[in-house]
Structure 1
Amino acid sequence: MSALFCCDSVRPYRPQRLLREDKFKTFMTWAAFPKESTASTGGGAENVELMELNPPYAIQLVRQVNYGPLESKRYFIPAEGKDNEFLEVVEDDLVRANFQKLNSYKNFKCESHNKFFEVNVYQKNPVNLHHWRANITRPAGGIDL
């Protein structure tokens, strides 16, 4: 388990009000320091079947040193039947369920630890899965900047 944010002094960086503001606000309230999480898959655990759970969206949390190396990319989905709760999933779960990054993100910065955080929203791609070729733009980690 590891903390999602480095401390409680993480602040918005160039804040803007967005169309999906409620999703960001719900996630940031849940993820507030000292929230810890561990991926629900990997380490011998079973894969999460997002096609069955059918979450309305997913959140990506990118953590890096400010103007430096990437420390982590983590993914979360709203917990089914629980308000304001999230489950951590791995990128492969999102790829299999055909989730794609939307052009909707918020940035956060921690001055005291020199950390930068980006929060992105993912939603299921509306294209027909029957005609979709999974190998065209995958793995997503290879194209996600």
Structure 2
Amino acid sequence: MTSIFCCSSTKPYKAARLSHETKFNDFITWAAYPRETTETIDALPSSDKVPYAMQLVKQINYGPLESKRYFVVNADGDADKAFVEVSETWLIEANFEKLNAYKNFRCGVHNRFFEVNFYKKDPVNAHHWRASVARPGGEIDL
């Protein structure tokens, strides 16, 4: 199990108010230190029941990436498990697309930078699906 944020000293960095503010607040409140999670493979929610997803990118401040993790709303409604960690492959197969909505956080104690990105289900018919740069993908991330 690994913690989502490094410690309780993580603070917003250049905070901006977004149209999806409540969803970001729900995720940040749930993920507050010392929340720990592992990728859940056995009990993945049905993608039909998941309205949105969050990506958490962790890196050394002005340095290399340490991790990219994806979380989706738990369809079961268990308040303690409001979000479930999923793999990037699950997100791609479920047809989620990254929107231009993000929030940044910084931990001065551990010199870490966190970016939280918002993903929403792509409304395009999956039958006519084409690869999109907006989709998550380790091989195409710029």
- Once the two structures are superposed, residues 72-123 of structure 1 have per-residue CA deviations (whole angstroms, 9 ceiling, x without a partner) of 0000011112347110000000000110100000000001110000000101
Aligned residue pairs: how many?
Answer: 139
1:5 is matched with which residue?
A: 5
The answer to whether the 8 A contact 2:45-2:74 is kept is: no
Q: Would the aligned equivalents of 1:50 and 1:94 in 2 still touch at CA under 8 Å?
A: no
5+ residue gaps, structure 2, are none
The answer to whether the 8 Å contact 2:98/2:120 transfers is yes
The percentage of aligned residue pairs carrying the same residue is 56
**TM-score of the superposed pair, with normalisation by structure 2:** 0.90
C-alpha separation between the residues in 2 aligned to 1:38 and 1:82? Answer: 17
- Out of 49, 58, 73, the residue aligned to residue 53 of structure 2 is 58
Contact 1:49 1:93 (8 Å CA) reproduced: no
Distance of 1:139 and 1:35 partners within structure 2: 24
1-structure distance, mates of 2:46, 2:141: 20
Q: Is the 8 A contact 2:54 2:116 kept in 1?
A: yes
Shift, 1:139, TM fit = 6.4
Query: Contact conserved, 1:99 with 1:123, CA < 8 A, in 2?
Result: yes
Q: What residue is the counterpart of 2:94 in the other structure?
A: 97
Does the 8 Å contact 2:11/2:106 carry over to 1? yes
Coordinate RMSD, CA, aligned: 1.9
Deviation at 1:142, TM superposition (A): 2.1
TM-score, normalised with respect to structure 1: 0.88
User: Which ranges of structure 1 fall in alignment gaps of 5 or more residues?
Assistant: none
